[in-house]
Amino acid sequence: MDSLRRLASVPLGRVVFTRHALPAVRPVNHIVADGQIVIRSSAGTILSTELAAFEAVVAFEADELDVKERLGWSVVVTGVAQLVKDPEETARFKSMIQPWVMGEMEQVIRIRPEIITGYELVPAVVPG
């Protein structure tokens, strides 16, 4: 659960998926709620139309990496992307996430983690 807490501590991550047999990736702002990654989307977007609509498997990555110190962490969650269909649940999630981009963003997509991988960047030992 430490990894999910880390994911929850940053506002932004990247949805990773396959499109037309090619690896693809989009940055998106997210929250973690009820043990899931929750993001907002608009009806016309790839996320809504091609991923959540078909319950595609996606990865979601977030990190916090200190460029100067070369320290930090990265968490990758793999799971199914689903459109939240229950209106009450949709409203509840929408009240919790402010979308960063313009548009209606009337949909809510959740990613239920099946695999959670966390790694940490530790300082490299520089030979004296």
Query: What residues line the site for a copy of itself (CB under 8 A)?
Result: 11-12, 14, 16-18, 22-27, 57-59, 61, 63, 65, 67, 70, 74, 76, 78, 99-102, 121-122, 124-125
- 77: burial class by Cβ within 10 Å (0-12, 13-18, 19+)? buried
Nearest distance from C-beta of residue 75 to a copy of itself, angstroms: 10
Considering the complex, what minimum distance in angstroms separates the CB of residue 60 from a copy of itself?
A: 9
Helix (H) or strand (E) segment spanning residue 7: helix 2-8
Nearer to a copy of itself, 66 or 86 (CB): 66
Residue 26 or 92: the one with the smaller Cβ distance to a copy of itself is: 26
Q: Tell me the closest approach of the beta carbon of residue 90 to a copy of itself, in angstroms.
A: 20
In whole angstroms, what is the distance from residue 95 CA to residue 105 CA? 12
Phi-psi region of 113 (alpha: psi -120 to 50; beta: other; left: phi over 0): beta
Q: Minimum Å distance from CB 111 to a copy of itself?
A: 11
Letter string b/e over residues 27-58, b meaning 16 or more CB atoms within 10 A of that residue's CB: ebebbbbeebbbbbbbeebebbebbbeeeeeb
Q: Which C-beta is closer to a copy of itself: that of 1 or that of 126? A: 126
